[in-house]
Amino acid sequence: MNAQSNDIATYNFAYLDEQTKRMIRRAILKGIAIPGYQVPFASREMPMPYGWGTGGVQVTASIIGPDDVLKVIDQGADDTTNAVSIRAFFKKVAKVAVTTETAKASIIQTRHRIPEHPLNAGQVLVFQVPIPEPLRFLEPRETETRKMHALEEYGLMHVKLYEDIAKHGRIATTYAYPVKVEGRYVTDPSPTPKFDNPKMHRSPALQLFGAGREKRIYAVPPFTDVVSLDFEDHPFEVQTFDQPCALCGAENVYLDEVILDDHGGHMFVCSDTDHCEKRRADGHHGHLAPETHLASEETEPAE
């Protein structure tokens, strides 16, 4: 091989070779057929580091076609650096159209959030997952946790959650809050805030989860029961915020705290930037909104 030539390395559509895509596609189908079960797959090295969304990227690369419209968010925002980077990657290797608008996307890859705008039946939500095993922090050994799933032996998880209640008066898990899928598998929703858990329940969209470093793929088909673990005397509840979004005035959305100065001044704004921009474009105002509307980004054409 001649290292000086320009075509020293060429890549397939969507980066992955076809054999790899087939392997991942087979895993996705098994994941859909066994909701919440973590399907082992021979995860590949990707051109971004493990831990930076390689599982999600492999899933997206295996399902994406030239007609798809892709949205990528990190922390709910389209403009966070890693979201920008992954979106640019797919623009480059798959030449697909990208968008920031939730409603216009056919595939949404996400890290840590589910969009506020309700998803519809044609959409696929791809989660980037760091540690797919919800029992991992209770039992570090894969050989043990696999047995626990096989036997549907989830007592340890309930004990852990109940210890929280005994110690803190409540379940002190605020994100990556474990769920039970279709009454069978205890599953990790990825490190989304528990605020987003109810959105997974009977969602019309297909939800796919990719954990690259840990080599697992799992899925929640549309209209599938996703129940956050809880107790009769301590029912599951989501985070609430005392104030609406300072920019668009939205309530019942997940907010980020933005530090305004070094004297403790802060404000709360929508974590979902697309949702916030849409609302402001529609004329909604929060108490700190700038006068001018931010025009929402149009779908960028394929390159």
Partner 1 sequence: MDIATQSIDGGFAEPVFNAQTVFRAIMDAMARPGTVQNLPQLARPPAPLSATAGAVALSLCDNDTPVWLDPPLQAEASVKAWLGFHTGAPLANTPADAHFALIANPKEMAALDGFAQGTQEYPDRSTTLILLVDDLASGPSLLLEGPGIERTSMIAPPGMPRHFVEQCKQNNQRFPRGVDIILAAPGSLSCLPRTTRIKLMEA
Partner 2 sequence: MYVAVKGGEAAIANAHRLLADRRRGDRSVPALRLDQIVEQLALGVDRVMSEGSLYDRELAALAIAQARGDMIEAIFLVRAYRTTLPRFGYTNPVDTGAMQIERRISATYKDLPGGQVLGPTFDYTHRLLDPELAAGAEVETPAQRPAEPEAMPRVSAILAHEGLIEADGEMPLDHVPGDITREPLQFPMARDIRLQALSRGDEGFLLALGYSTQRGYARNHPFVGEVRIGEVELELDVPELPFAVPLGSIRVTECQMVNQFKGSAKAPPQFTRGYGLVFGQSERKAMAMALCDRALRAGELGEDVVAAAQDEEFVISHSDNVQATGFVEHLKLPHYVDFQAELGLVRRMRAEYEARENEDKAEEKREAAE
Based on the shown chain and the rule CB under 8 A, indicate whether residue 80 belongs to the binding site for partner 2. yes
Based on the shown chain and the rule CB under 8 A, indicate whether residue 44 belongs to the binding site for partner 1. no
**Tokens 């994406």 belong to which residue?**
64
Based on the shown chain and the rule CB under 8 A, indicate whether residue 88 belongs to the binding site for partner 2. yes
Closest approach of partner 2 to the CB of residue 183, in Å: 26
Among 3, 9, 151, 166, binds partner 1 (CB under 8 A): 151
Amino acid, res. 98: V
Identify residues 252-281 at the interface with partner 2 (CB under 8 A). 254-258, 260, 267, 269, 271, 273, 276
Identify residues 194-223 at the interface with partner 1 (CB under 8 A). 202, 204, 206, 219, 221-223
Are the beta carbons of 177 and 228 closer than 8 angstroms?
yes
The CA distance from 228 to 201, in Å, is 9
Based on the shown chain and the rule CB under 8 A, indicate whether residue 185 belongs to the binding site for partner 1. yes
Residues 146-185, mask of contacts with partner 2 (x by CB under 8 A): ----------------------xx--x-xxx---------
Identify residues 47-106 at the interface with partner 1 (CB under 8 A). 62-66
Q: Which is nearer to partner 2, 132 or 224 (CB)?
A: 132
Q: Does 286 participate in catalysis according to the annotation?
A: no
Q: Does 265 participate in catalysis according to the annotation?
A: no
Q: Select which of 53, 55, 56, 270 is catalytic.
A: 270
Based on the shown chain and the rule CB under 8 A, indicate whether residue 179 belongs to the binding site for partner 1. no
Coil, helix or strand for 295?
A: coil
Amino acid, res. 300: E
271 binds, among partner 1, partner 2, none (CB under 5 to 8 A by kind): partner 2
Among 122, 142, 162, 303, binds partner 2 (CB under 8 A): 142
Q: Select which of 31, 36, 55, 286 is catalytic.
A: 36
Coil, helix or strand for 18?
A: helix
Bridge partners (DSSP) of residue 110 are 73, 127
For 17, 77, 214, 299, the CA distances from 100, given in Å and listed in that order, are: 28, 9, 29, 7
User: Where do runs of H (alpha helix) occur along the chain?
Assistant: 18-33, 54-63, 81-93, 142-150, 155-168, 197-200, 273-281
For residue 28, count other CB atoms closer than 10 A to its CB.
23
63 binds, among partner 1, partner 2, none (CB under 5 to 8 A by kind): partner 1
Q: Does 245 participate in catalysis according to the annotation?
A: yes
Q: Does 183 participate in catalysis according to the annotation?
A: no
Based on the shown chain and the rule CB under 8 A, indicate whether residue 85 belongs to the binding site for partner 2. yes
Q: How many residues bind partner 2 (CB under 8 A)?
A: 75
Closest approach of partner 1 to the CB of residue 212, in Å: 18
The CA distance from 269 to 286, in Å, is 9
| Cα dihedral value 14, 19, 23, 25, nearest 10 | 40
Coil, helix or strand for 297?
A: coil
**Tokens 């995860």 belong to which residue?**
43
Q: Does 248 participate in catalysis according to the annotation?
A: yes
Q: What are phi and psi of 90, to 5 degrees?
A: -70, -30
- In the chain, the N- to C-terminal Cα span, in Å, equals 30
Bridge partners (DSSP) of residue 175 are 193
Based on the shown chain and the rule CB under 8 A, indicate whether residue 127 belongs to the binding site for partner 1. no
Residue numbers at the binding site for partner 1 (CB under 8 A): 12-13, 18-19, 21-23, 25-35, 37, 39-40, 62-66, 121, 146-147, 149-151, 182, 184-185, 202, 204, 206, 219, 221-225
Q: Active-site residue numbers?
A: 36, 245, 248, 270, 276
